[in-house]
Amino acid sequence: MPATSVDQAQLCVNTIKFLSADAVEKAKSGHPGAPMGAADMAYVLWAKYMRFDPGDPRWPNRDRFVLSAGHASMLLYSLLHLFEFDLPMDELQRFRQWGSKTPGHPEYGHTPGVEATTGPLGQGFANGVGMALAQRMMQARLKRHADLLNHRVFGIVSDGDLMEGISSEAASLAGHWSLGNLTYLYDDNRVSIEGPTGLAFCENVGRRFDAYGWHVEAVDGNDRDQVDQALFRAVAEETQPSLIVARTIIAKGAPTKQGTAKAHGEPLGQEELNAAKQAAGWPLTPPFHVPEEARAHFHALAEEKRRQRSEWNERFAAFRRDNPEGASIWDTYFTRKIPANLDELLAGAAPTQEGATRAHSGAVLQAAAAAVPSLVGGSADLEPSTLTGIKGGGDVVPSGLTCGAPVNYSGRVLHFGVREHAMASIGTGMSLYGTFIPYVGTFLIFSDYLRPSIRLASLSGVRVIYVFTHDSVFLGEDGPTHQPIEHLPSLRLIPGLEVWRPADGLETAMAWARAIQRDKAPTALVLTRQKLPAIARRDGFDRREIGRGGYVLEDSDGAAAELTILATGSEVSLARETRTLLRAGGVPARLVSMPCFEAFRAQPESYRDSVIPKGSRLVVIEASRIEPWCDLVGEDCLWIGLDRFGASAPAPVIAEKLGFTPAAVTEKVQRWLERG
């Protein structure tokens, strides 16, 4: 690191502070306080400890920085600009404006150098845990060449992050996994939107994290020397994640608003900002001022980081030259290599006999894992029910299941305990890391616990696979607390998420193939607990039709169809029996299996019309709320769904009581046709 005087460091810190405050003031919107209070520790971290290449934000051995306190986004944007990432000054001046690269909260894939989409508090904290875990798992796969990925994960977290339950779940796992490559600076400014954190938050955070197995230190976050020393010790700690409790002053330097909630979620106001600048000896004009000396110093720092990258390039070139086997492993993971015939491989592994689709999924997963080394995952203490283990894949657990013992990072099976929310967000972090395709599993009813993380994964455009089993009232005796009703339509409302509800082994295999191949979006697989009949398809059936989201499973045997029946998952077999009864009663019908709305909607109109003919009378059967079907097929149809909670009873009894038997459905259809 180039030599830095105290005055020069203060000049750089002031540059960060006032760039951030000027942007918020110009936008008349945002959070100036956290950037001004955290500028000292952010400068020390970025200048002295973090390794990155501003010209290549995706360099594999870069240190990751996660701003979990996403409301302080201008702190990150100021750092990215000053360290010469592709974020020019005019983007800072367009903070929070339409089309700018500086949105109100950081967005992955939108701004160079942003590692995770943050803002909903606690999410970035858990994402960083996922990144740190992925790095350790990659080092285990590289073995003696692990130093090619000797980077770390750093972050700044806030009071709000640590109040959210997800951070407690993720912190517990980080300690359990001994993630010594993870360091968070806790911006302990003791101010939230409503006022002092003492209104609702008086706990000793350091003692809590000590109990989780973290290395904990407390410093004055506005004292750069203290921050430097604490970071030095954190980086030296290899077996425990580190939390540096940094006591700071929000909006430090603002004469009347520092230390108050007035600096949290609104601009300082030009008068207050000018007073802060005057107190610091900073020119009032022009706004967005970067002194030449500060610019030159940041340039020297950036050049040093580019030099570190060049040294790594030499080591990496030697690795490629001297170790072709290791280079092949590297490429397999960093491209997340998928065989071109994945569909064929998974279809060949799909059970053809009757069975629960969760069991079909478990069988298909084994073939997928054999074909795709990047595929890793597990469940929230439900693997015996979700069937999400990889046989022979090895568990990522401490040796002898003894807390603090060395962890088997070479494994592929993750055990999240009963921590659904952190599980999903950690999965996002692993996907963001860039080498793994993570899947996570639980019951569909608990998708509510995952929903914020699923939404952010979709917003971020990353590949995570959610395996949801026990998908309907037909799971039986566990009763209405565990029987999903509104969850299918709720998940279908998330933009970008594909929700697959397969009806048999082949549909399950094609759903897995689709999920693995979707490299810029997440996928939910929704699976049954109960057994479903095997499905025999027509001669010459092309399994690729399943991948289109909806297809004609059975047609009307040459006669003109009087109606089209659409169903998903377990209701497809019910619809088949209903179709048989209708045909016996003189009503020819077409049966469409619709495992995925989103994939079907993406098909050309001509294909959609060939499956669901315009003007056809329609019957929809699905054991859930059915509102989203309206957009797909319109309102002029018969809806056979649920608008009530379930009950505790064996599945056949539930089916009878709630009208999901072939005889009951046939009777409803016949009455509807007569009325029409």
* Mean predicted confidence (pLDDT) in 396-404: 95
Cα–Cα distance, 506 to 209 (Å, whole number) = 47
Identify which of 182, 85, 92 has the alpha carbon closest to the alpha carbon of residue 128: 182
Give the pLDDT confidence score for residue 127 in this predicted structure: 98
Position 676 confidence tier, pLDDT thresholds 50, 70, 90: low
Contact in structure between 229 and 17 (CB atoms under 8 Å): no
Rg, C-alpha atoms of the chain: 28
**Cα-based torsion angle of the residue sequence 625, 631, 637, 641 in order, rounded to the nearest 10 degrees:** -10
- Given the residues 25, 91, 272, 420, the one annotated as active site: 420
Please indicate if the annotation marks 165 as binding a ligand: no
Give the pLDDT confidence score for residue 433 in this predicted structure: 98
Give the pLDDT confidence score for residue 630 in this predicted structure: 67
Please indicate if the annotation marks 245 as binding a ligand: no
* Mean predicted confidence (pLDDT) in 421-441: 98
Contact in structure between 498 and 514 (CB atoms under 8 Å): yes
Structure tokens, 476: 């039986």
Give the pLDDT confidence score for residue 82 in this predicted structure: 98
Position 614 confidence tier, pLDDT thresholds 50, 70, 90: confident
Structure tokens, 571: 């209701």
In the block, residue with structure tokens 């995570």: 464
75-86 burial by CB neighbour count: b if 16+ within 10 A, else e?
bbbbbbbbbbbe
Percent of all residues in the chain with a pLDDT value above 70, rounded to a whole number? 99
Please indicate if the annotation marks 191 as binding a ligand: yes
Compute CA 254 distance to the chain's CA centroid, rounded to the nearest angstrom: 37
State pLDDT tens for residues 536-566: 999 999 999 999 999 999 998 778 888 999 9
Across the chain, what does the average pLDDT equal?
96
* Mean predicted confidence (pLDDT) in 315-331: 96
Cα–Cα distance, 350 to 165 (Å, whole number) = 39
Instruction: Confirm whether 238 is a catalytic residue.
Output: no
Compute CA 676 distance to the chain's CA centroid, rounded to the nearest angstrom: 47
State pLDDT tens for residues 125-177: 999 999 999 999 999 999 999 999 999 999 999 999 999 999 999 999 999 99
Residue 30 has pLDDT above 90, yes or no: yes
State pLDDT tens for residues 60-91: 999 999 999 999 999 999 999 999 999 999 99
Please indicate if the annotation marks 120 as binding a ligand: yes
Under DSSP, the state recorded for 376 is E
**Residue type for 147, please?**
D
Please indicate if the annotation marks 190 as binding a ligand: no
Structure tokens, 675: 């009325």
Cα–Cα distance, 196 to 616 (Å, whole number) = 62
Query: Which helix (DSSP H) or strand (DSSP E) does residue 218 occupy?
Result: strand 215-220
Please indicate if the annotation marks 119 as binding a ligand: yes
**Residue type for 243, please?**
L
* Mean predicted confidence (pLDDT) in 231-244: 97
Number of helices (H) and strands (E) in the chain: give both, helices first.
25, 18
Give the predicted TM-score (pTM) of the model: 0.96
Please indicate if the annotation marks 315 as binding a ligand: no
Cα–Cα distance, 361 to 350 (Å, whole number) = 8
- What domains are defined for the chain? 6-306 (3.40.50.970), 342-526 (3.40.50.970), 548-675 (3.40.50.920)
Percent of all residues in the chain with a pLDDT value above 90, rounded to a whole number? 93
Position 288 confidence tier, pLDDT thresholds 50, 70, 90: very high
Contact in structure between 175 and 213 (CB atoms under 8 Å): yes
Give the pLDDT confidence score for residue 629 in this predicted structure: 76
Structure tokens, 73: 């986004």
Identify which of 225, 221, 212 has the alpha carbon closest to the alpha carbon of residue 182: 212
Contact in structure between 20 and 36 (CB atoms under 8 Å): yes
Please indicate if the annotation marks 297 as binding a ligand: no
* Mean predicted confidence (pLDDT) in 431-459: 98
518-555 burial by CB neighbour count: b if 16+ within 10 A, else e?
beebbbbbbbbbbebbebebeeeeebebbbbbbbbbbe
Strands 563-567 and 413-415: unpaired
Structure tokens, 180: 């010594």
Residue 580 has pLDDT above 80, yes or no: yes
Under DSSP, the state recorded for 186 is E
Cα–Cα distance, 40 to 320 (Å, whole number) = 40
Please indicate if the annotation marks 653 as binding a ligand: no
**Residue type for 227, please?**
V
Residue 675 has pLDDT above 90, yes or no: no
Beta bridge partners of 619: 565, 638
Please indicate if the annotation marks 341 as binding a ligand: no
